[in-house]
Structure 1
Amino acid sequence: MSSRSLYAALERLTRAENGRLAASSLTKAQQRALDELARTTGAVSFIRQGRGCVYEVRDPEVLDIWWRRLCPSDPGDLPADMPDRAANVAIRRDSKGGQHKHEHAYLLLKASGAPVSWSDDRAILGLTQATRDFGVAALAIHPEDAWISDQPLWLIENQALFDRTDWLEHNGPVTLCYYGGQLSGRLLAWLAHRPRAPEIVLFADYDGIGLMNYCRLLAQGGDGARFYLMADWQAKLGRFGNPDLWQRTREDFARAAALLPEGDAYAPVRALMVAMQRLGKALEQEAIWLSPVEDQADDPD
């Protein structure tokens, strides 16, 4: 039997008035878990009552043993300020068994150009100096915090472009944020809560996942966010595009095609998607360092 389904069913049954719980109040999975418990232990019985059915506690001591196997501690005995994951271990023996999101997320940032800084009501993060001294800086974020910057924020999918920044076409100061493949819900919530920077730029792989991340960013209130298209992307897609990556991310591509807003602002991204579909190729962002034209050997004298 599923321990999660049994946990949910027993949690309700142990609190039910007179030890009786309507079967209709449980999911099918929870009913199956109680049915199996009834067959193996006899601690619970299934009774037809009127037009419905109820589960009834028959042996409270045996039922309590099973309940304690799943729930070692009573929620009311735990400190109110206990971290969610610790409480889940105490209540469910599983840190991810209930509400388990961390209170904060952490952004890995570096500056390109100078000066770049972030500030809130209490402090200033001099990102340019931190990048010079330490290579990167980390910022603890919460959706309701007040961190903002006067410089654009670039969200970078792959570490190679975070490590080495000579691909930037301009010398203006920007913040680079490495997000590693998927934009987290906490990062999106943080960006949606208030304007964080004068411009948000997403530089992702040109595949279904990257495009779907862009749609998620737009849906979270980032209407002004820009999807970065490298120079000569058409030629690079044709020469260096990856058919396997295209196939692996086609479902995300189809979802992104349905979600991408209409309008002139998104026409360049639509053009990219049309080309990807026509060629059956996706393109990784490291192609920014590659030339789409084959090098020509010097003519002999």
Structure 2
Amino acid sequence: MQTPLDAFAGLLADLAADGVVPASRLSAKARERLAPLFSADVLVERRAGAGRRIEVRNADTLARFIERHYPAGLFSNAAAEEGLDRRTLALSRYRDTKALGGLDFEIVEYRLTGKVPLLIGGTAVGWSGVSGDLGAFVLYGARPVNREVRFSGVVATVENPTVLIRHDWANAGVDLAIATYGRMSRRLIDWLASESMRDARVVHYGDYDPVGLGEFCRLEAALGDRADLFIPAEIGRLFSQYSDRELLSRSAGLLPALQRSPHNRVQGLLRLMAEFGGALEHEALLIYRGEHDQGT
């Protein structure tokens, strides 16, 4: 038995095959999508005994409507769709690459700064000193052996590209710094929490604001004590000099949930935000490093 691509495809298949369906089959959304066909009298609604039904008045126009919305047909075709990624599959089925949601993979940029190799599909990538040891790998939602990514050192999740490039990760004891560019995907967190990363310790480097703390809490919830939050020794002075009221106010709605966190470092940073009335962008780490490089 063939399987329709979705409920609307199933409805269209029955209309095309039988010429009639009970009116109760039409949801409000289906009626909205079929409105042009009702307006053109391609479909009509009539009484049928104690109920109502939808009848097809023009099968050719209905067929063209189906072809326009489902170019590959109304039913799934495992052989034809094998190997297609989510967006290509959506284009094939619906003429719309976004119809099935986002990508089923993401590109993860990294800096490899330690001696521990990164294993990508069984191939070891080691430190070379070339191009700042910048690289990238593809992280898939489903990861068979040939797509698995493994690491067993200290991993930094880094919110900002400037910090990714400019921070001295080797001196910080970090073996692999990966860019998150803001909010981490569920896919990335699931990978960090997966069996292939069980020997890695993950340290979060994000803004010292409610969003950054929220990202750390997501990591901790998934990784437990394998997750940590980096806080420089002079965090109080950095808050005093560089914290920003607007940065805090933009995400103040997250504060109530963070205040329930049992993590001491989160609570310590919340106290600093309250004391100085602002939050701190993590590029301040580069100021902190620069001052120490100059011996101040």
Structure 2 length normalisation: TM-score?
0.78
Q: Which runs of 5+ in 2 are unaligned?
A: 289-296
Measure the CA separation in 2 of the matches of 1:253 and 1:269: 11
Q: Which residue of 2 aligns with 1:238?
A: 240
> CA-to-partner distance for each residue in 1:253-300, whole Å, 9 max, x for gaps?
445445x4x3xxx11112212432454422100112336xxxxxxxxx
Q: One-letter code of the match for 1:12?
A: G
Label 1:213 to 1:275 Cα distance change in 2 as closer, same or farther (>3 A). same
Measure the CA separation in 1 of the matches of 2:205 and 2:155: 11
What does residue range 207-218 of structure 1 map to in structure 2 within 5 Å?
207-218=209-220
Measure the CA separation in 2 of the matches of 1:243 and 1:191: 33
Give the Å deviation of 1:182.
Answer: 1.9
Which region of structure 1 is more displaced relative to structure 2, 156-165 or 216-225? 216-225
Note if contact 2:155-2:174 (Cα within 8 Å) is conserved in structure 1: no
Give me the identity figure in percent.
22
Matched, 1:284 2:281: yes
Label 1:47 to 1:280 Cα distance change in 2 as closer, same or farther (>3 A). farther
Note if contact 2:107-2:139 (Cα within 8 Å) is conserved in structure 1: yes
What does residue range 1-301 of structure 1 map to in structure 2 within 5 Å?
10-16=8-14, 18-34=18-34, 36-47=35-46, 53-74=52-73, 75-76=76-77, 78-98=80-100, 100-102=102-104, 104-112=105-113, 114-119=114-119, 122-126=122-126, 128-129=127-128, 132-135=129-132, 136-142=134-140, 144=143, 145=145, 146-166=148-168, 170=171, 172-194=173-195, 196=197, 197-257=199-259, 260=261, 262=262, 266-277=263-274, 279-290=276-287
Which region of structure 1 is more displaced relative to structure 2, 48-57 or 218-227? 48-57
Measure the CA separation in 2 of the matches of 1:169 and 1:163: 12
Give the Å deviation of 1:225.
Answer: 0.7
Q: Which runs of 5+ in 1 are unaligned?
A: 1-6, 292-301
Measure the CA separation in 2 of the matches of 1:160 and 1:184: 20
Which region of structure 1 is more displaced relative to structure 2, 200-209 or 83-92? 83-92
Label 1:124 to 1:280 Cα distance change in 2 as closer, same or farther (>3 A). same
Label 1:220 to 1:54 Cα distance change in 2 as closer, same or farther (>3 A). farther
2:203 match: secondary structure: strand
Structure 1 length normalisation: TM-score?
0.77
1:200 match: secondary structure: strand
Measure the CA separation in 1 of the matches of 2:276 and 2:26: 50
Which region of structure 1 is more displaced relative to structure 2, 114-123 or 282-291? 114-123
1:290 match: secondary structure: helix
Measure the CA separation in 2 of the matches of 1:257 and 1:32: 45
Give the Å deviation of 1:11.
Answer: 1.6
